[in-house]
Structure 1
Amino acid sequence: MSPADKLRHLLSQDKLHVMPCCFDALSAKLIEQAGFGLTFMSGFATSASRIGAPDLGLMSYGEVLDQTRNITEATTIPLIADGDTGYGNAMNVRRTVSGFARAGAACVMIEDQLAPKRCGHTPGKAVVSREEAFDRVRAAVDAREDGADILIMARTDARHDHGLGEAIERAAKFHELGADILFVEAPRTTEEMQTVCRELPGPKMANIVEGGETPELSHEELRDIGYAIAAYPLTLLAAAMKAMCETLAALKQDSSREDLIMDFKTLRNRIGFNDYYEASSKYKSSQR
């Protein structure tokens, strides 16, 4: 199956898909090795890891596309790519969606924030008009209908400035225009999350940011509410940063790091050295 077909198959199942988010090829490989069925390339985490800067629209389309390609070449599970605001007008959105499809993404997220966008759980974000938001989704769907084998996730951040009602109305129109997955960002209570799932059709995604605005419900609660996907955009980045800071402190103090780091044998295996050696064993010229 194509990446998009793999994701369609997952979404046809009556269950919650727990989705840790990646930020590079290695984090995506670890997600797959842990047995998760799909992943999302978090814009927040990717901006932090690739350019060492906050997710405030600083990464270019080319940088995000390159990171997407690295991830899809290293893994087999479906990847949802962060298409941001589409990187321009509706024609840019079409190019963005087509490019992510060629890069092997199963789905691309397009949002209605004003460019340059901001992380959904940080201050200062604003959304474009309904007309511009709808044009972005129309353009994304047109790219798919022109031959891009990719799903469209339509995101709205209207809850922040305009209330939940406006966000739901926008998301309902996104579905009407052809979006495959709906993402209403940052509902603030369990009741708001229930309203989103009750009033909107099709698969919905919950975005669970530890310490963010949306309640950190259990997987069972999210499933019972009606979400199809639960994304955890910063869990791996936060865990990795904490581990690196603790290890750096131990190294600086010349104290033991044994309990802080992965052993070398496991490290090599996780990265893929053993797979490489096995594949290369039949080529004499590769055994030097």
Structure 2
Amino acid sequence: MNFYSVIYYFIFRNKTTTNAELTHFYSSIDKFEKRISKQALNKAIKKLNPNVFTYLINQFASIYYASSLPKKYRDHLLIAEDGTYMEIPYNVYNINDFQFCMNQHVHDIFDVKKVQSKAGGLYDVTNSLFIDFSLKPAPYSETPLAFAHLYRTKKILKNQKIIYLADRYYGSAEIISHLEFLKYNYVIRGKSNFYKKQVSLMQSDDEWIEVEVDDKWLKRFRFSLEAKELRKEKPIFKIRVIKRVYKYTDINHVFIVKTLFILPI
């Protein structure tokens, strides 16, 4: 299996087992008589640098967003950032490469029952397309993944109007400042302790608050030099906070969820 065949194999795979995938792949290209074994596939895969897929995703996105094909919401692209854990094949090599998270059940490498990695993606909600994606060791934080995606896609999305969507773990002052630098709009779900002092002074469920980033806070900016410089020049930034209460019912209970949403000027 040559380089291009390995690339096509990974892009179009959709079966549950390797053997089934190999059968499907070679049947699809009408070369079933040249079907290779699982061992031969693994040997070919080891020669492939996985970063090639990040490159291909970015190249495809560059071509796509330069065209007239992308659908938009009120003239804006809706892009969402999120992270998760992904289970990968269990073997000692992957345990060493991707590490593991220690907890009450896992104290060392001998307690590891499954191998996980930290994954993060920047996803175009309207067009059902990943613009960027990262796979890192399990203890890796979602925040640096988000910044890596924003930096890598900056040129791709340069001439687009953007609304950045994110969950509770992305409402840091540094991320907000970086989005301001990029001139992206955003809607981010806030944590319960999100800018607690300023939010506690709100008189209604929909207000503007002002947050001042002092020198001590600025020292915690670790991922974006642009955000740091912006807050040095403008230490006070203004955001809109909307409080909402949501109710939903499962089989046995009714749950009430209080949440905050933050938006730019």
Bigger RCO of structures 1 and 2 (CA < 8 A, at least 6 apart): 1
Q: TM-score, normalised by structure 2?
A: 0.31
Bigger fraction of residues in helix: 1
- Which structure: larger Rg? 2
Q: Which has the higher strand share?
A: 2
